[in-house]
Amino acid sequence: MSIFPPLEIPNTLAAGPGPGNTDPRVLQRFAQSGVADHMQKDVLRGMVEAKKMLRTAFGTQNVYTYGVGGTGFSGLDCVFSMILPGDKVVAFANGTFSGIDGQSIRMKASTREELAANPIDPQPESVTIVNVAHGQSVSGDIVEAALAEHKPMWAFMAHWETGSGRINDLQGFNDACAKHGVMGIVDAVSSLGVADYDIDAYPAVVAWASCPQKGILSLPLTYAPVSFRDEAIEVVKQRGAYTYVHHPVLEGRHWGIVDGKDVDAGGYHRTHSGYAIAAFHEALRILLTHGRAQKAADYEYHEKALRQAVQAMGCEVTSNMTSLLVLNLPGDLAGREKELVGGCRAEGFGIWPTLSEPVQVRIGILNQLTVEAITEIAGLFADAMLKMGANFNKDEIMNQLKAYYTG
């Protein structure tokens, strides 16, 4: 047996798809929270307040709006738990995350025989995965055609596919679901807290799931926001779900949601963390104080600055999200993406490659909404490219960036 020294983790520049650069205020709330159990009155009050702020962040009146303890996939597991074996589902995949969501949906919808035939990656009869090429968006026409053909009970799409940096057509998805009487489920992991939208404007989408550490900018592993329309909750009440911990109805209880109504304080469902609640609560306060619309405008403004800078370095940007650039390196550096990203990461500049083919570079700006932060990211990326032999004049690029910001 060995005992290791205390774990030291350095400060790095989180400039990837997420987790974002955690706000010091969030870390401070986390670290300053007293030792209190999960039924202490301020912890319970914090949960009720966080639930109410989360409704504003989502733009919803949905009573069943709360956080699921864990990561983004925990929230997604909670919403996917509505899907029972044999349910007919159409899921759209255009990158790493919607691909994994599709796998998760296939696990839920499989019969026992289908699961046994391929336990890790089942291929149930009742699920159709519509693959859209990496680098392209899921369009309303694609959704409409698939729903018209298959007439499923559920349809699934990622709003912003972080694997390829593409925004998918939420309005088109909603409209096709409404037209064909299909219940929509959306992965809003990357868009919540970055884009300015009200989920109540998309009534055919009956369930939404997001994550703690991207647009919401709470600590990872705190709370994954979810929201269910009453129609979805009715389905769960009638049919049940094969889970206790991620049960859409039961999981609401600790947040003070009982029998479709808000109550003053929640009751025990599982042991929540006062530290996690404090972090989540502060992150929501920061988002709402900044203002959803202002924050979305700030992302647009700074993404454009960084996009122009990397294009001037010869990169081709294939994404259209406002929190993330996904790009191809110029011809002479093509094929060396992993080497470049590895070199940056080794020096604490935390950019990312894509996690599924084709290999591209991802640079994110979550919580980097200042001239100084974008200038630092552009400068570090320029240095890394030059080190690998790229051919451009860094001063010229930094001057152009300065000119963008000084208008």
Ligand X SMILES: *Cc1c(COP(=O)(O)O)cnc(C)c1O
H runs (alpha helix) in 19-111? 24-32, 41-58, 72-80, 96-109
Tokens of 252: 């609401």
Q: How far apart are the first and last CA of the chain?
A: 61
Kindly tell me which of 33 and 162 has the beta carbon lying closer to ligand X: 162
Residues 64-103 that bind ligand X (CB under 6 A): 71-73, 97
The partner residues of 226 in beta bridges, in order of sequence, read 66, 209
Q: Tally the residues of the chain.
A: 407
Residue from the set 60, 62, 162, 368 that interacts with ligand X by CB under 6 A = 162
Kindly tell me which of 226 and 382 has the beta carbon lying closer to ligand X: 226
Kindly tell me which of 166 and 292 has the beta carbon lying closer to ligand X: 166
Site string for ligand X, 365-394 (x = CB under 6 A): ------------------------------
Site string for ligand X, 17-56 (x = CB under 6 A): -x--------------------------------------
Kindly tell me which of 225 and 256 has the beta carbon lying closer to ligand X: 225
CB distance 18 to 190 below 8 Å = yes
User: Closest Cα partner for 365 from 348, 377, 354, 381?
Assistant: 377
CA-to-CA distance for 4 and 6, rounded, in angstroms?
7
Residue from the set 187, 251, 282, 303 that interacts with ligand X by CB under 6 A = 187
Residue from the set 211, 241, 313, 324 that interacts with ligand X by CB under 6 A = 211
Residues 236-275 that bind ligand X (CB under 6 A): none
Kindly tell me which of 158 and 170 has the beta carbon lying closer to ligand X: 158
Q: Shortest Cβ distance from residue 204 to ligand X (Å)?
A: 20
Q: What angle do CA 221, 223, 229 make, to 5 degrees?
A: 145
Q: Where does residue 95 fall: left (phi above 0), alpha (psi -120 to 50 degrees), or beta otherwise?
A: left
Count, residues near ligand X per rule CB under 6 A: 12
Kindly tell me which of 97 and 299 has the beta carbon lying closer to ligand X: 97
Q: Is 306 in the site for ligand X (CB under 6 A)?
A: no
Q: Shortest Cβ distance from residue 165 to ligand X (Å)?
A: 10
CA-to-CA distance for 147 and 74, rounded, in angstroms?
27
Residue 256: φ, ψ to 5°: 80, 40
Task: Collapse the DSSP code of 125 into the 3-class scheme (helix H, G, I; strand E, B; otherwise coil) and give the result.
Answer: coil
CB distance 210 to 225 below 8 Å = yes
- Give the number of other CB atoms < 10 A from CB of residue 95: 26
Residue 271: φ, ψ to 5°: -80, 100
Q: Is 397 in the site for ligand X (CB under 6 A)?
A: no
Residue from the set 164, 174, 190, 367 that interacts with ligand X by CB under 6 A = 190
Query: Applying CB under 6 A, which residues contact ligand X?
Result: 18, 71-73, 97, 158, 161-162, 187, 189-190, 211
